[in-house]
């Protein structure tokens, strides 16, 4: 069959397909561009950077910038590279993720299987907590940390991330446990199991998917955080994002763009790796957060 312009339906469909793929590939290159540029730039020497442009491949691949970024780049006063800050982020993220996930799991369990008067209202309050801009708690929290003697320390940052992560983890677990049949808990009660045994033997074993979602989400949020990091830490206690920002913005001497890029990739690697390996859980976390209450 042909239409008015003499094109067959097949041709029109094919042109349509080409347009679709073309646009998608164009978009893909837009998203890949920065990553490509970062990698390529980090492997060039400063001379090559000046001579070439963003997309030109290095004639001589060199990992020098990476070494500097890791261990000798200057981040303000000290010049020890990012490795100290990397460790700090690990020390902050691991406990904070673990604690906020555990608390979120218990909260979700109670809210769905041991409902009491006001538990829905409580959930609503928590939910609103996820929506506030953190700027409104920065100052009072700074004061509290000062009083507790935790300002500028890693435990202080762990506390902050746990406190403001609980709302999200509770949301995840609550939405997940809602679909675990209540009759399972009732059968276990008749069998004689109590609060903790039911959680440990019945609920927890079926929670693996949501634990993964919660851990990945929390890890990404905490690792990538900058606001709390820059306000509540100082000197060599700072997390990686703050270290990176300092590194890129120190104005001593010549700007070493290759080092900047290497540093950015170092900072991005952990969450990027998590995303590549467990991407679908990450997406589940994102879309679960979007389906509020």
Q: How far is the CB of 187 from other proteins (least distance, A)?
A: 4
Q: How far is the CB of 64 from other proteins (least distance, A)?
A: 17
- Which alpha helices (H) appear in 130-256, and where do they start and end? 135-148, 154-177, 182-191, 195-198, 208-224, 227-232, 240-249
Closer residue to other proteins in complex, CB, 5/135: 135
Alpha-carbon distance 43 to 45, whole Å? 7
Alpha-carbon distance 218 to 105, whole Å? 13
Burial label, 224 (beta-carbon count in 10 A; 0-12, 13-18, 19+)? middle
Closer residue to other proteins in complex, CB, 32/178: 32
For 184, residues 6+ apart whose C-beta sits below 8 A from its C-beta are 202
Closer residue to other proteins in complex, CB, 111/154: 111
CB 290 within 8 A of CB 171: no
Closer residue to other proteins in complex, CB, 97/244: 244
Which sign, positive or negative, has the C-alpha torsion 196, 199, 205, 211?
negative
Alpha-carbon distance 137 to 40, whole Å? 40
Closer residue to other proteins in complex, CB, 154/165: 165
Q: How far is the CB of 215 from other proteins (least distance, A)?
A: 14
| Measured CA angle at 14 (ends 9, 17), to 5 deg | 130
Question: Percent helix, strand, coil in the chain (nearest 5)?
Answer: 75, 0, 25
Alpha-carbon distance 95 to 248, whole Å? 28
Q: Phi first, then psi: what are they for 8, rounded to 5°? A: -75, 160
Q: How far is the CB of 135 from other proteins (least distance, A)?
A: 4
Q: How far is the CB of 71 from other proteins (least distance, A)?
A: 19
Closer residue to other proteins in complex, CB, 54/61: 54
Closer residue to other proteins in complex, CB, 23/71: 23
Q: What is the DSSP secondary structure assignment for residue 56, as one 8-state letter?
A: P
Q: How far is the CB of 81 from other proteins (least distance, A)?
A: 16
Q: How far is the CB of 257 from other proteins (least distance, A)?
A: 6
Q: Phi first, then psi: what are they for 152, rounded to 5°? A: 75, 10
Q: How far is the CB of 279 from other proteins (least distance, A)?
A: 6
Closer residue to other proteins in complex, CB, 60/147: 147
Q: Phi first, then psi: what are they for 79, rounded to 5°? A: -125, 65
């Amino acid at each position: 069959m042909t239409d008015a312009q003499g094109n067959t339906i097949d041709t029109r469909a094919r042109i349509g397909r080409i347009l679709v793929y073309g646009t998608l590939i164009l978009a893909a290159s837009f998203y890949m561009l920065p990553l490509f540029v970062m990698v390529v730039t980090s492997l060039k020497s400063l001379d090559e950077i000046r001579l070439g442009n963003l997309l030109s491949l290095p004639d001589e691949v060199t990992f020098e910038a990476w070494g500097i970024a890791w261990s000798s780049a200057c981040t303000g006063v000290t010049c020890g590279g990012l490795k100290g800050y990397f460790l700090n982020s690990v020390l902050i993220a691991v406990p904070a993720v673990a604690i906020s996930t555990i608390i979120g799991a218990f909260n979700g369990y109670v809210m769905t299987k041991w409902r009491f008067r006001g538990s829905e209202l409580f959930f609503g309050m928590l939910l609103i907590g996820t929506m506030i801009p953190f700027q409104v708690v920065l100052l009072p929290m700074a004061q509290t940390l000062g009083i507790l003697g935790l300002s500028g320390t890693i435990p202080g940052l762990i506390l902050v991330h746990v406190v403001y992560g609980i709302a999200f983890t509770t949301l995840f677990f609550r939405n997940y446990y809602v679909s675990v049949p209540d009759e399972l808990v009732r059968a276990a009660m008749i069998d004689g199991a109590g609060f903790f045994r039911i959680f440990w033997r019945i609920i927890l074993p079926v929670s693996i998917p949501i634990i993964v979602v919660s851990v990945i989400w929390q890890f990404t949020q905490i690792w990538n955080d900058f606001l709390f990091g820059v306000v509540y830490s100082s000197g060599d206690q700072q997390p990686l994002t703050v270290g990176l920002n300092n590194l890129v913005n120190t104005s001593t001497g010549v700007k070493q763009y290759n080092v900047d890029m290497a540093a950015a990739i170092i900072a991005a690697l952990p969450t990027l790796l998590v995303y590549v390996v467990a991407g679908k859980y990450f997406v589940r976390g994102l879309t679960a957060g979007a389906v509020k209450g």
